[in-house]
Amino acid sequence: MGVRAWIEGWPAVRQIAGRDPLGRGAAAKSDRSRMLRARTEDADRMVRSVCPYCAVGCGQQVYVSGERVVQIEGDPDSPVSRGRLCPKGAASHQLVTASDRQTAVRYRRPHGTEWEDLDLDTAMDMIADRVIETRRRTWEDTDENGRVLRRTLGFASLGGATLDNEENYLMKKLYTALGAVEIENQARI
């Protein structure tokens, strides 16, 4: 760095010579601050999304670097939110990247005192068996008056309001085909 540049770098000089006479903006900026770059600038890509908390449906811009989410910002294009996010929406980066978020299936056997590991495929197979078995055992063809029921009340499901429409659709479709009717979600709670 030349002497001239060095002197011009002094905050007091910048304050007098620059556009920040009160020294509360650019003149006071440190070298370190100048070197900082927003994570969003270096991101590999930005993907459009929607806040997963309340039903306002604020637009989100999800920044990805090295196949990891590095930042989530409000989407200024959204006519709903115009770039804003509330504390929850702004914290959703932590929601998806939290290091303590569960990544593995856990299994507790009947009467067990501890969690055990379980392979995902095995878990899926066991759950399918539980459904088939419960359904068979609790099946109702008709009621006591002979009216057709064609159902099982042996198992129930709760959830859906935090999920996608497509997910709710597959849930309702599968459950109904299985004859399960005790299907509910937060809309009732």
Partner 1 sequence: MAECHPVGFQWVMEAKARGATIIHVDPRFTRTSALADIHVPLRAGTDIAFLGGLINHVLSRDLWFREYVMAYTNAPMIVREDFRDTEDLDGLFSGFAEQTRHYDPSTWQYEGADVAAAAGQRDQWALMHRDEEAGERSAAGRRTEKASSMETAGAAGGRFHGHPERDETLQHPRCVFQVLRRHFARYTPQLVADVCGITEREFERVADALTANSGRERTTAFAYGVGWTHHTVGVQYIRTAAILQLLLGNIGRPGGGILALRGHASIQGSTDIPTLFNILPGYLPMPHAHEHLDLDGYVSADAGSKGYWGNMDAYAVSLLKAWWGDVATADNEYCFGYLPRLTSSHSNYDTVVKQVEGSCEGYFLVGENPAVGTSNSRMNRFGLANLTWLVVRDFNMIESATFWKDGPEIDSGELTTEDIATEVFFLPAAAHVEKDGSFTNTQRMLQWHHKAVEPRGDQRSELWFYYHLGRIIREKLAGAVSRETPTPEQAERDRPILDLTWDYPTIGEFAEPDAEAVLAEISGWDGEGRPLSSYTQLRTDGSTRCGCWIYCGSYAEGVNQTARRKPGREQSWVAPEWGWAWPLNRRILYNRASADPDGAPWSERKAYLWWDAEQRKWVGHDVPDFQATKPPDYRPPTDAEREDAIGGSEPFIMQADGRGWLYVPTGLADGPMPAHYEPAESPVANLLYGQQANPARRVFPHRLNRYAPSGETPGSEVYPHVFTTYRLTEHHTAGGMSRWLPYLSELQPEFFCEVSPALAAERGLEHGGWATLVSPRAAIEARVLVTERMRPVTVGGHTIHQIGLPYHWGDNGLSTGDSANELLPIVLDPNVHIQPTKADTCDIRPGRRPRGRARLALVQEYQRRAGITAETGTEAVTRRGGPS
Question: Which residues inside 75-104 make contact with partner 1, applying CB under 8 A?
Answer: 76-82, 84-92, 94-96, 98, 100-104
Query: Can you name the residues that pair with 63 across neighbouring β-strands?
Result: 46, 71
Q: Which two tokens stand for residue 68?
A: 């990891």
Q: Is 140 helix (H, G, I), strand (E, B) or coil?
A: strand
2 lines the binding site for partner 1 (CB under 8 A): no
Check residue 105 for interaction with ligand SF4 (CB under 6 A): no
Distance, in Å, from the CA atom of 138 to the CA atom of 54, rounded to the nearest integer, reads: 37
**Which of 75/154 has CB closer to ligand SF4?**
75
**How many Cα neighbours within 13 Å face the side chain of 107?**
13
Q: How many residues interact with partner 1 (rule CB under 8 A)?
A: 117
Q: How far is CA 180 from CA 131, 132, 145, 183, in A?
A: 10, 11, 21, 7
Pick one of 62, 72, 85, 180: the residue that binds ligand SF4 (CB under 6 A).
85
Measured from the CB of residue 176, what is the shortest distance to partner 1 in angstroms? 6
- Among 46, 53, 65, 179, contact with ligand SF4 (rule: CB under 6 A): 53
Alpha-carbon distance of 69 to 52, in angstroms, equals: 15
Q: Which is nearer to ligand SF4, 74 or 154 (CB)?
A: 74
Closer of 34 and 106 to partner 1 (Cβ): 106
> Among 43, 58, 62, 180, which residue sits at the site for ligand SF4 (rule: CB under 6 A)?
58
- State the maximum Cα–Cα separation within the chain, in Å, rounded to a whole number: 100
* Amino acid (1-letter code) at residue 14: R
Spatial distance between the Cα atoms of 130 and 124, rounded to a whole number of angstroms: 10
Q: Of residues 9, 21, 25, 57, which one binds ligand SF4 by CB under 6 A?
A: 57
The single-letter DSSP state of residue 105 is -
Residue with tokens 């990247």: 97
Position 40 contacts partner 1 (CB under 8 A): no
Binding mask 113-152 for partner 1 (x = CB under 8 A): x-x--x-x--xxxxxxxxxx-x-x-xx-x-x-xxxxxxxx
Asked if 62 touches ligand SF4 (CB under 6 A), the answer is: no
**Binding site residues, ligand SF4, CB under 6 A:** 51, 53-54, 56-58, 81, 85-86, 88-89
